């Protein structure tokens, strides 16, 4: 079983198109009833998940899954979320069943769900095992790329009877991805996405974060390093010398604190030239529809990067 973690360069027209298309993927307000025919999907653990009709009482144990449920128009069918499920705004008002690593199983059962959705990165194998042993229908998601996000969106659409809306969202996101490709900068500045300072860890190319960098037209500074999330020493970071450094706002630090902890970073090109950016963790680090927004924002930053910075 897959291991569970504990854990503008091109024309304004392309950017406008991207903005419009990504907006199409925002939470739907449609009020039509889900279809009632039998459903069968295969989740990301290769398990067949089936039901006689669409799920009407869904508990989501990951913020990315909550976003996808709302994006396909199934928000009214969501009856429980984690305390970290804060987008869209409606999700904040739903009953909380605890955090991602240790959800309250009794609370989940009290909501009488006919489907619980969990993720490989963020939730635990124990939660999956306990729920399955209790006879709860569980769907497991593990998107590692935009294609994986599209698959999960399609699966969620199927499980909730929102296939038509899911197809529309996927089509709009694919079009947005094509618009991003059309707007790629002529150069490919190197980008380092930091995920932790203690230890010093970055996102590798084979992760969905790496794909965001690639979609935006950047080159992942860790491309030659092994592992999905390589750990760096100070010498390696100086050798990589990225054109841009991104760090998520949920690290709880700012550039001044980083420079204080790593004074040698003043040698980095990104630090010298003011290209260390504190970014929205929710958009960049959740494998969901808003990844295209993150890629569009990064592409705008790349367009502002001097072309000779390689």
pTM of the predicted model as reported, rounded to 2 decimal places = 0.85
The sign of the torsion formed by the CA atoms of 214, 216, 222, 226 equals: negative
Do 258 and 197 touch, CB atoms closer than 8 A?
Answer: yes
Pairing of strands 39-42, 48-51: antiparallel
pLDDT reported for residue 308: 44
Distance from C-alpha of 190 to C-alpha of 179, rounded to nearest angstrom: 21
pLDDT at 19: 38
Q: What is the pLDDT of residue 305?
A: 83
Containing 59, the helix (H) or strand (E) segment is strand 58-60
For the chain, the distance separating the N- and C-terminal CA atoms, rounded to the nearest angstrom, is 41
Q: What is the CA radius of gyration of the chain?
A: 20
Structural domains of the chain, ranges and CATH numbers in brackets: 12-179 (3.40.50.1980), 186-303 (3.40.50.1980)
- Which residues, at least 6 apart from 133, have a Cβ–Cβ distance to it below 8 Å? none
Please enumerate in sequence order all residues whose Cβ is within 8 A of that of 58, keeping only pairs 6 or more positions apart, or say none.
69, 74, 77, 78, 79, 80, 113, 114, 115, 116, 117, 160
CA dihedral defined by 63, 64, 70, 71, rounded to 10 degrees? 160
Residues of the chain with pLDDT below 70 are 1-36, 307-310
The secondary structure of 167-183 as a DSSP string is HHHHHHHHHHHHHHHHT
pLDDT at 35: 56
Asked whether 49 and 40 are in contact (CB, 8 A), the reply is yes
Per-residue pLDDT tens over the stretch 187-241: 889 999 999 988 999 999 989 999 999 999 999 999 999 999 999 998 999 999 9
| Tens-place pLDDT, residues 279-288 | 999 999 999 9
């Amino acid at each position: 079983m897959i291991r569970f973690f504990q854990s503008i360069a091109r024309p304004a027209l392309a950017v406008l198109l991207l903005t419009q298309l990504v907006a199409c993927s925002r939470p739907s307000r449609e009020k039509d009833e889900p279809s009632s025919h039998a459903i069968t999907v295969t989740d990301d653990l290769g398990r067949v998940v089936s039901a006689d009709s669409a799920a009407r009482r869904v508990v989501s144990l990951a913020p990315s899954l909550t976003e996808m449920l709302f994006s396909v128009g199934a928000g009214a069918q969501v009856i429980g979320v984690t305390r970290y499920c804060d987008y869209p705004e409606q999700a904040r008002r739903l009953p909380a069943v605890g955090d991602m690593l240790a959800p309250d199983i009794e609370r989940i059962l009290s909501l009488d769900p006919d489907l619980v959705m969990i993720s490989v990165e963020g939730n635990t194998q124990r939660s999956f095992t306990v729920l399955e042993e209790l006879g709860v229908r569980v769907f497991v998601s593990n998107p590692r790329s935009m294609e994986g996000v599209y698959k999960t969106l399609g699966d969620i659409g199927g499980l909730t009877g929102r296939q038509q809306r899911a197809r529309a969202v996927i089509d709009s996101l694919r079009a947005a991805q094509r618009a991003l490709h059309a707007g790629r900068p002529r150069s490919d500045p190197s980008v380092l996405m930091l995920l932790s300072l203690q230890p010093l860890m970055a996102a590798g190319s084979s992760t969905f974060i790496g794909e965001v960098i690639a979609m935006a037209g950047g080159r992942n500074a860790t491309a030659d390093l092994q592992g999905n999330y390589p750990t760096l020493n100070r010498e390696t970071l100086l050798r990589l010398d990225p054109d841009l450094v991104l760090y998520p706002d949920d690290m709880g630090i700012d550039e001044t604190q980083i420079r204080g902890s790593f004074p040698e970073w003043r040698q980095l090109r990104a630090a010298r030239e003011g290209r260390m950016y504190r970014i929205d963790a929710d958009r960049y680090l959740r494998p969901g529809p808003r990844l295209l927004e993150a890629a569009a924002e990064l592409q705008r930053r790349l367009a502002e990067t001097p072309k000779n910075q390689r």
